[in-house]
Structure 1
Amino acid sequence: MAHVRDVRFEHHREALGVGESRPRLSWRYEGTRTVPEFVEIEVQGQNGTRHVRVRGDDHVLRAWPFAPLTSRERSAVRVRALDRWGAAGVWSAPATVEAGLLRTEDWLARMVAPPRGVDGEGGAVELRRTIDLTLPVRHARLYVTSWGVHVAHLNGVRVGEERLAPGWTSYHHRLPYRAHDITHLLGMGENLLVITLADGWYRGRLGWDAGFSRVYGERTAVLAQVEAVLQDGRSLELGTDEHWFAAPSPVVATSLYDGETRDERRGAAAWSPVEVLDAVPHALVAPTTPPVLPTEVLVPVASEVVDEGTTRYDLGQNLVGVLRMRVAGPSGATVTVRHAEVVEDGRLAVRPLRGARAIDRLVLGGQPVTWQPEFTVHGFRYADITTDHRDVRVEGVQAIVVHTDMRRTGHFECSDPELTRLWENARWSLRGNAVSVPTDCPQRDERLGWTGDIAVFAPAATTMYDCAGFLSSWLADLAAEQEENAGAPPLVVPSILGPTPPVAVWGDAAVVVPWTLYERYADVSMLRRAWASMTSWVELVRRRAGDDLIWEGDRQFGDWLDPAAPADEPAAARTDPDLVATAWFARSARLVARAATVLGRTGDARRYAALADAVAAAFRRTFTTPAGRIAGETQTAYATALAFDLLPDAAARQEAARRLVGLVEREKYRIATGFAGTPFLLDALTDTGHVQVAYRLLAETSPPSYRYQVRMGATTIWERWDSLLPDGSVNPGEMTSFNHYAYGAVADWLQRVVGGVAPLEPGYRRTAIRPLPGGDLTHARTSLLTPYGRIATHWRLDDDRYTLNAVVPTGVTAEVGLPDGTRHVVGAGDHTFTTRHRPAYPPSSTPPPGPPDATLARRTVNRSPGPVHRGRAKGQGHSAC
């Protein structure tokens, strides 16, 4: 009999305060090779216990089978399998779901702001209210959000572990609130609720140079509501109103970019009544993304005294978070912490931070304290801690890793520790750039949700973590802001740049990201919600392309950060930006056609498929010859045309593949692609039978290459292939980050090709298990927790003997391919296959291509998108990702 495990609701990690009245159900099966024909679902709630019998094969995002939840309603759900004769298995562990405040009228609280005299601008301010109880409570909730970032304490105890709440969204469109269980924190008598509020993304500095501040509003504010049921059954409700008071906090300065200063000498100040602002904001929503949490603690791997009063700590890992330490010393003494990703010439390399100061300070009040900043995070591996008094003692230094608390789902390792490290570098870059939104970098004066980065990295991200809630929340902001930007997704989401032009790859995130989420999580609603956004983008590009369907003449980022581009001209790539733009136009049109088919929009499916065919034909007419040669003769041009299936027939593909291999060999297996081409280079080689060439490219150690970064000590993915030069100096480009995940797109290839696990149907319900050994690898292991369960592979080579172990979960069919060409279709279970190993694809010895065809010579120019904000143009050194 099947055992039911892991009952869950929508894509929530914790289903407390959800915004869905009919949350879809998912679960997994264990202990059986076949899906039970029927299951029984039980719900226990305020209306008693109810049961329903449903088919067992529909167990991923199954429609809620009971009456809709009402606001605050809490239910426990269990599931058990039934056999064909009706006999029941064991109940699953109960999973609880609780609805949030689903109606505006459920809120009695109002937004309150500190009075202007204690506004806390630049620092943090405390808002407080006492709660008097004459009876114990049965259960209690705190619903809270803010304009700004906040943390709540009840009777001196922190309420939850969330950092930088409520996160960063397009606040005018979506302001999420969070529900907290505070039952255990309330006692009889007087209870003190304190909410500390800082500028955060709402009013703080964002962007480069002088940056932007007050992007969303002039004043920070809090909306909070406490609801409790007392022991005698009576209810207590109170919210932020004129009975709250405010005063400055010990955090005298705090900024996401510049760091935080806390003065322990600041005592209690006079409390002033708050100012009541608007009623409940119209944009209030329950969150769909997990909160930002501390997820790991690292201790330094080394420390050294670098100057009088200064000790440098090496965490051994480039991370995002803050330091925590125990500090004791005389009143007025100061501890200063400076952060950086790398060390150059014996000093912290702070130039890559540009305008971000990344400095935290603690002014002691005479008593020992355990200190960690609250309203900031830094991207760093190294930290210099300086004390200005000889009697100051700093002990117990730790790094607190902070990011959106996505569930880890993927693992990869292989016999080559450098490739294993490469995959881990991509994973750490995802962690560091998933602080509420998917950002480009976490350390300098930028940290923005550049759409192009996640457009190329989303497939890799979903092999590592469950990104469904995280990215679907971000897509909701993208869609809302795209509508205000004339159909073009803003270059950064949430948008702070004002109107921005349509740019290929970056704008294509509107199509690529929702399609990736559907493919990986089998959630049709992802496509349904994104449909207007997807089609709006493709229709906009259609208009820009004109009758010939070639998108040309507009300013583009193109193959951004091509390694041959000058350090201060990252858009000056070898590949024609019009070629890149048109290729991505064809790809997005094709994905929209597939989405229309999934959604049952038959007419739209035909229309967009015809558009994709027409754009592909235009691409061939303009950029290729019938023989398979492509304009510009670049790795990106060939990889893109092959990966997007833009060539006319097998012969043209074969010739294009041959020429791509020649280009790779001419570059001595070094990478010659930027953001637009890199994600497809290895796949283009692999899919055309040149697996060993792909492995050889992956084995290269001289720059630009993947292993160069690893051998230079990288623990995250770099923005530039040579962010650190061979002599150990930092790349002279103004735009140099050591934590950018775009080139980490290779992690998806490592899982699909080296590990061998790739989806054939949404959610991996039908999966390809086909590792392709190559290079010097002797074994590899990968696992992925899919919506249906854990898929795992482990292959190894012993001389010429190849053994593959595969784990397939219940409900999944796997198509297994072996190196000798044999194929097997298997269902759930543990499977072992053994065969002799002979490389299916021998190394290539293709000669390099000749000079480009003169008839295909097109202008290759640096068309950066031009000024998109108050300040310098994008093509003048700022990151586009």
Structure 2
Amino acid sequence: MTTGPVVRIGSGEPFTATPAPRLTWKTLSRTENWLQARAEIELVTAEARVTASLDGDESVFVEWPFAPLRPRETVAVRVRVEGVDGSVSPWSEPAEVTAGFLESGEWRARFVGSGSDEPHLLRATFDVHGGVRRAFLYATAFGAYDVRLNGSAVDDAVLKPGWTSYQWRLLYDVNDVTAHLRQGTNTIGIELAGGWYTEDFGFRDAARRFYEGNPAAAAQLVIEYEDGTSTTVVTGEDWQWSPGPVVAASIYQGETYDARRSGDDWRPVVLVEVPDVRPEPRSGPPVRVIERREVAEVLTTPSGKTVLDFGQNLVGWVRLTVSGPRGHTVTLRHAEVLERGELGTRPLRNAAATDRYTLRGEGEETWEPRWTFHGFRYVEVENWPGELSPAAVSAAVVHTDMRRTGGFTTSHPLLQQFHDNVVWGMRGNFLSIPTDCPQRDERLGWTGDLQVFAPTASFLYDCDAFLRSWLEDVMLEQRAAKGVVPMTVPAVIPQVPGQLEPVAAWGDVITVVPTVLRERFGDHDAIATCFEAMAAWVDTVTDRTDGKLLWESGVQFGDWLDPDAPPDQPGQAKTDAGLVATAYFHRSADLTAQAARILGRDEDARRYGDLAARIAEEFRRTYVTPSGRMMSDAPTAYALAIVFGLVDGERKAAMGERLRHLVRAYGYHIATGFVGTPIICDALTATGHVDAASRLLLQTECPSWLYPVRMGATTIWERWDSMLEDGTINPGQMTSFNHYALGAVADWLHRCVAGLAPAEPGYRRIRVAPTLLDTLDDAFAWHDTPYGRASAGWCRSNDLVRFEIEVPPNTRACVRLPSGAEHEVGSGTHTWTESHPRPRRTRTGLGLDSDLATIVDDVEAYRAVLGAISSIDPGRAAAFRRSTRWTPGRRLRDPLSHTPLEIVEAIEKALAALPG
């Protein structure tokens, strides 16, 4: 043992929302195969020093072994561990944490405001006399707020307190503000805007306010003096309000700021009527400005407008430093893409995404909005006074402040950019809640998007506390909807048909996400807390099927955004919606049964296990032929059956063969939507068709994962063709250039290609099973597990492949190499080398009578055919690529029967020129 353990409490923030926070520690050691035998945990309070002993290897989410914390109590916790080898670590550095919650009934602050929806300022004065030992500020708002004490911000969080289902749940923030106070008179000020509370939600003309009432803020400042006395300052009728420099603020529309307005027209506040909700402490990290990016390029559009390119599609806002005459207004318009050289704003729909700043006219002025956010790469600047210097503008990257925990690297440049795009897509859409997109008039917590992306998210960032908080809202919304999990949480678009009806793959978020949090973070409490909601969802779907076990009724999205669906009918997928729904019905019943077994709920385990088995049997009876052919003969149908465990044995193998056939028939282009895309490579891998998965992964023609990369994307698109090959935006009314759902395949890159996966919850045991792709030279993944850094990867050198893994202390890894060799290893770094020559293709006499499957399986031959057509008629080449089904038993000349002779001869010549 070289270094002692590192202790982490709760979400990593300095305050805990619970009197008994769970403890996690990582042990740093160079000793191979190190395992913990016992641990000592020491608690230091103002009154005492207490030690608890723990036998065994538990070190993740360990239950608090001490008396519950009291409100505002600050304690220090440290740990030392003993290994099974007898080694003993030094004590860790103390981790300090403060109880950030209030006593029951202690909240006394009143909600105050101006009585209007306009942004405004609030303030009050109070006196401080005597030595202050500590002072804590608790604050919240129905809306968005910020607090200053004596002119200084109390923290660096933004858009507080974030978005929750306000009618049932409101969070408050707590800060230690001792250093902000001074003897004598002090001033506390609150800036208040509407945020999500006053936004119009819905689509186009149907957008409406959901939450009723004006924005209001509440704050409670508790001052503890050194003599043991205390005073409390609360918002109430003695406060004042004033219009401030923020003229207008909207999440969707943007912010208008007039620096000439001083905010000194003070009037008595109004006690605002708000939902009857007792605020609760924040349990996860807040939203912050995470980084700032410089302008990459200044562009002049064909119409003569000035546009700033930040080189990356991001979420946040811009900060500007400007000098000019008083009353001069600079306008900033945001968009993700350019179309024909101009700002591409059509996909924003009703969102103006426009900020305006009116100058005070007193020298250099620096400003950035704080009550809105935009999804953008490009900013059009209008009416800049004088010459615009790129250094005068920067972009703030804004999202929930989660700790980065995972990554993937490869020397394949397009695949690496794709994975980078996945990370940026998550960053932009994990802003207070997991949203579908960050730019248009939507930005909602669509449950289906998060359901498919949760495994990827849990690898890339420590999002356990973030998602646990959101799941609280999911359960509240579900309870209100009598067991139905809404399509969006918070559920603010009831006018949308089916919003409060059960929808497969969307409502299943309540069974999938708690399972993922236990699997990836070791958060056993996730399924314990959510179990009743998991069961309620399965029971609700059971009731809707009337005991038939097939879920073929009601509103369904099916395999949403199948690339063959028309632009304005994204639900018209190849896969039958009832098949999709029934597969998910089985999955949720099965996950609920598993959760029940883990929790020791034996009767529930039997009931839901039996239900899952009966659904699976009915699924096979209805949708699967005895030979393994699906009645809905589409890739997503086979992927669901394979990955969700609905078939096994010979039938599973037959389905794998058919899936491989379909993937090839579509020319190794994506043929799946939201439901099939995250799992199709898993299904191919599980049935022995890694070659097909590899071709699918690295396809660059549309539709494919790498087509957007080839088109310059820096985030994941909502549609496979959000931008068409001619550089114009998809004509559909629903197009976003920052959606993370179709990037969910990154989980397969982590688990299967690099080969790093949890074998037990929280990576207590690690499964390392790398999958070699003949089209890659290397692949490497790392993840900061609750036990420490784990990594796995491989690299080719001619015919030799070197495998390297890193296993953190207090864990073990089960390794299976591509040769079939198996190893079980403990902590440390381990390497192996195996011979895996790339397959060598033999090519003989390709021509018009060659089998279509033979042509498409030969990348050079396929490109030669398409290149020959394109050299004469690019439009015909694109049509040929889209319409041809590359199936065995058909000759190349068959789909060319009506093709001009000139093109046919060019194809023959191109194929003949290929080397043998």
**Structure-1-length-normalised TM-score:** 0.92
- Per mean C-alpha deviation after superposition, the further-off stretch among 35-44 and 421-430 is 35-44
Query: Any idea what SS the aligned residue of 2:298 has?
Result: strand
The 1:753–1:392 alpha-carbon spacing in structure 2 relative to 1, beyond 3 Å, is closer
Question: Which of the numbers 240, 243, 254 marks the counterpart of 1:245?
Answer: 240
Matches for 1:605-624 after TM superposition, within 5 Å: 605-624=605-624
Query: Any idea what SS the aligned residue of 2:706 has?
Result: helix
What is the aligned partner in structure 1 of residue 672 from structure 2?
A: 673
The 1:841–1:598 alpha-carbon spacing in structure 2 relative to 1, beyond 3 Å, is farther
Residues 1:420 and 2:408 aligned together? no
CA distance, structure 1, for counterparts of residue 109 and residue 781 of structure 2 = 49
Query: Any idea what SS the aligned residue of 1:483 has?
Result: helix
Residues 1:645 and 2:645 aligned together? yes
What is the aligned partner in structure 2 of residue 552 from structure 1?
A: 552
User: What is the identity, as a one-letter code, of the residue corresponding to 1:20?
Assistant: T
CA distance, structure 1, for counterparts of residue 200 and residue 96 of structure 2 = 40
Residues 1:464 and 2:460 aligned together? yes
Query: Any idea what SS the aligned residue of 1:551 has?
Result: coil
What is the aligned partner in structure 2 of residue 877 from structure 1?
A: none
Measured against aligned partners, the alpha-carbon deviations of 1:740-799 in whole angstroms (never above 9, x if no partner) come to: 111010110111112110111111111111111113211122100111111112321101
Question: What is the aligned-residue RMSD (CA, Å)?
Answer: 2.2
What is the aligned partner in structure 2 of residue 44 from structure 1?
A: 44
After TM superposition, give the deviation of residue 279 of structure 1 in Å: 9.8
CA distance, structure 2, for counterparts of residue 336 and residue 211 of structure 1 = 28
Please tell me whether the aligned partners of residues 777 and 796 of structure 2 are also in contact (alpha carbons under 8 angstroms).
Answer: yes
After TM superposition, give the deviation of residue 672 of structure 1 in Å: 0.4
CA distance, structure 2, for counterparts of residue 211 and residue 376 of structure 1 = 22
After TM superposition, give the deviation of residue 183 of structure 1 in Å: 1.8
Question: Which of the numbers 392, 401, 410 marks the counterpart of 1:405?
Answer: 401
- Per mean C-alpha deviation after superposition, the further-off stretch among 302-311 and 355-364 is 302-311
CA distance, structure 2, for counterparts of residue 547 and residue 53 of structure 1 = 52
CA distance, structure 2, for counterparts of residue 650 and residue 707 of structure 1 = 33
CA distance, structure 2, for counterparts of residue 425 and residue 542 of structure 1 = 39
The 1:260–1:466 alpha-carbon spacing in structure 2 relative to 1, beyond 3 Å, is same
Residues 1:144 and 2:139 aligned together? yes
Please tell me whether the aligned partners of residues 789 and 808 of structure 2 are also in contact (alpha carbons under 8 angstroms).
Answer: yes
CA distance, structure 1, for counterparts of residue 831 and residue 719 of structure 2 = 41
User: What is the identity, as a one-letter code, of the residue corresponding to 1:702?
Assistant: E
Residues 1:158 and 2:156 aligned together? no
What is the aligned partner in structure 1 of residue 370 from structure 2?
A: 374
The 1:586–1:834 alpha-carbon spacing in structure 2 relative to 1, beyond 3 Å, is same
CA distance, structure 1, for counterparts of residue 778 and residue 834 of structure 2 = 15
CA distance, structure 2, for counterparts of residue 70 and residue 710 of structure 1 = 53
CA distance, structure 1, for counterparts of residue 275 and residue 107 of structure 2 = 7
Q: Percent identity?
A: 46
Matches for 1:95-134 after TM superposition, within 5 Å: 95-114=95-114, 116=115, 119=116, 121=117, 123-134=118-129
What is the aligned partner in structure 2 of residue 837 from structure 1?
A: 836
Residues 1:297 and 2:292 aligned together? yes
Residues 1:438 and 2:434 aligned together? yes
Measured against aligned partners, the alpha-carbon deviations of 1:130-164 in whole angstroms (never above 9, x if no partner) come to: 23223353322111001110011122222211111
Residues 1:524 and 2:520 aligned together? no
Query: Any idea what SS the aligned residue of 2:630 has?
Result: coil
Query: Any idea what SS the aligned residue of 2:469 has?
Result: helix
Please tell me whether the aligned partners of residues 167 and 275 of structure 2 are also in contact (alpha carbons under 8 angstroms).
Answer: no
Please tell me whether the aligned partners of residues 22 and 64 of structure 2 are also in contact (alpha carbons under 8 angstroms).
Answer: yes
Matches for 1:341-360 after TM superposition, within 5 Å: 341-360=336-355
- Per mean C-alpha deviation after superposition, the further-off stretch among 806-815 and 387-396 is 387-396
What is the aligned partner in structure 2 of residue 750 from structure 1?
A: 749
CA distance, structure 1, for counterparts of residue 839 and residue 104 of structure 2 = 62
Aligned length: 843
What is the aligned partner in structure 2 of residue 172 from structure 1?
A: 167
Query: Any idea what SS the aligned residue of 2:813 has?
Result: strand
Please tell me whether the aligned partners of residues 661 and 848 of structure 1 are also in contact (alpha carbons under 8 angstroms).
Answer: no
After TM superposition, give the deviation of residue 657 of structure 1 in Å: 0.7
User: What is the identity, as a one-letter code, of the residue corresponding to 2:593?
Assistant: A
What is the aligned partner in structure 2 of residue 857 from structure 1?
A: none
Matches for 1:424-823 after TM superposition, within 5 Å: 424-498=420-494, 500-647=500-647, 649-823=648-822
Query: Any idea what SS the aligned residue of 1:758 has?
Result: strand
Query: Any idea what SS the aligned residue of 1:246 has?
Result: strand
User: What is the identity, as a one-letter code, of the residue corresponding to 2:682?
Assistant: D
Measured against aligned partners, the alpha-carbon deviations of 1:35-80 in whole angstroms (never above 9, x if no partner) come to: 2322221111133211122225111111111111111111110111
User: What is the identity, as a one-letter code, of the residue corresponding to 2:813?
Assistant: A
Please tell me whether the aligned partners of residues 292 and 435 of structure 1 are also in contact (alpha carbons under 8 angstroms).
Answer: yes
After TM superposition, give the deviation of residue 85 of structure 1 in Å: 11
Please tell me whether the aligned partners of residues 425 and 739 of structure 2 are also in contact (alpha carbons under 8 angstroms).
Answer: yes
Please tell me whether the aligned partners of residues 166 and 275 of structure 2 are also in contact (alpha carbons under 8 angstroms).
Answer: no
**Structure-2-length-normalised TM-score:** 0.89
Measured against aligned partners, the alpha-carbon deviations of 1:584-629 in whole angstroms (never above 9, x if no partner) come to: 1111111111111111111111111111111111111111111100
- Per mean C-alpha deviation after superposition, the further-off stretch among 27-36 and 584-593 is 27-36
What is the aligned partner in structure 2 of residue 869 from structure 1?
A: none
Residues 1:220 and 2:218 aligned together? no
Residues 1:198 and 2:197 aligned together? no
Query: Any idea what SS the aligned residue of 2:41 has?
Result: strand
CA distance, structure 2, for counterparts of residue 250 and residue 689 of structure 1 = 63
Larger radius of gyration, structure 1 or 2? 2
Gaps of 5+ in 1: 852-881
Matches for 1:1-12 after TM superposition, within 5 Å: 1=1, 3-10=3-10, 12=11
Residues 1:14 and 2:13 aligned together? yes
Matches for 1:258-297 after TM superposition, within 5 Å: 258-277=253-272, 281-297=276-292
User: What is the identity, as a one-letter code, of the residue corresponding to 2:598?
Assistant: V
Query: Any idea what SS the aligned residue of 2:200 has?
Result: coil
The 1:538–1:328 alpha-carbon spacing in structure 2 relative to 1, beyond 3 Å, is same
User: What is the identity, as a one-letter code, of the residue corresponding to 1:724?
Assistant: M
The 1:427–1:444 alpha-carbon spacing in structure 2 relative to 1, beyond 3 Å, is same
User: What is the identity, as a one-letter code, of the residue corresponding to 1:225?
Assistant: Q
User: What is the identity, as a one-letter code, of the residue corresponding to 1:748?
Assistant: D
After TM superposition, give the deviation of residue 848 of structure 1 in Å: 4.0
After TM superposition, give the deviation of residue 390 of structure 1 in Å: 4.3
What is the aligned partner in structure 2 of residue 209 from structure 1?
A: 204
Measured against aligned partners, the alpha-carbon deviations of 1:20-39 in whole angstroms (never above 9, x if no partner) come to: 11111110111143223222
CA distance, structure 2, for counterparts of residue 106 and residue 309 of structure 1 = 60
User: What is the identity, as a one-letter code, of the residue corresponding to 2:776?
Assistant: L
After TM superposition, give the deviation of residue 306 of structure 1 in Å: 3.7
CA distance, structure 1, for counterparts of residue 403 and residue 159 of structure 2 = 19
After TM superposition, give the deviation of residue 304 of structure 1 in Å: 2.4
CA distance, structure 2, for counterparts of residue 2 and residue 213 of structure 1 = 61
After TM superposition, give the deviation of residue 841 of structure 1 in Å: 13
What is the aligned partner in structure 2 of residue 23 from structure 1?
A: 21
- Per mean C-alpha deviation after superposition, the further-off stretch among 34-43 and 753-762 is 34-43
CA distance, structure 1, for counterparts of residue 387 and residue 414 of structure 2 = 44
Please tell me whether the aligned partners of residues 519 and 758 of structure 2 are also in contact (alpha carbons under 8 angstroms).
Answer: yes
After TM superposition, give the deviation of residue 280 of structure 1 in Å: 10
CA distance, structure 2, for counterparts of residue 602 and residue 308 of structure 1 = 69
The 1:580–1:40 alpha-carbon spacing in structure 2 relative to 1, beyond 3 Å, is same
Measured against aligned partners, the alpha-carbon deviations of 1:334-385 in whole angstroms (never above 9, x if no partner) come to: 1100000000011100000000000000001112211100100000000011
User: What is the identity, as a one-letter code, of the residue corresponding to 1:25?
Assistant: L
User: What is the identity, as a one-letter code, of the residue corresponding to 2:41?
Assistant: I
What is the aligned partner in structure 1 of residue 66 from structure 2?
A: 66
Between 1 and 2, higher relative CO (CA 8 Å, sep ≥ 6) is seen in 1
After TM superposition, give the deviation of residue 87 of structure 1 in Å: 8.1
Query: Any idea what SS the aligned residue of 1:374 has?
Result: coil
Gaps of 5+ in 2: 843-852, 858-885, 891-916
What is the aligned partner in structure 2 of residue 855 from structure 1?
A: none
CA distance, structure 1, for counterparts of residue 204 and residue 84 of structure 2 = 68
User: What is the identity, as a one-letter code, of the residue corresponding to 2:410?
Assistant: C
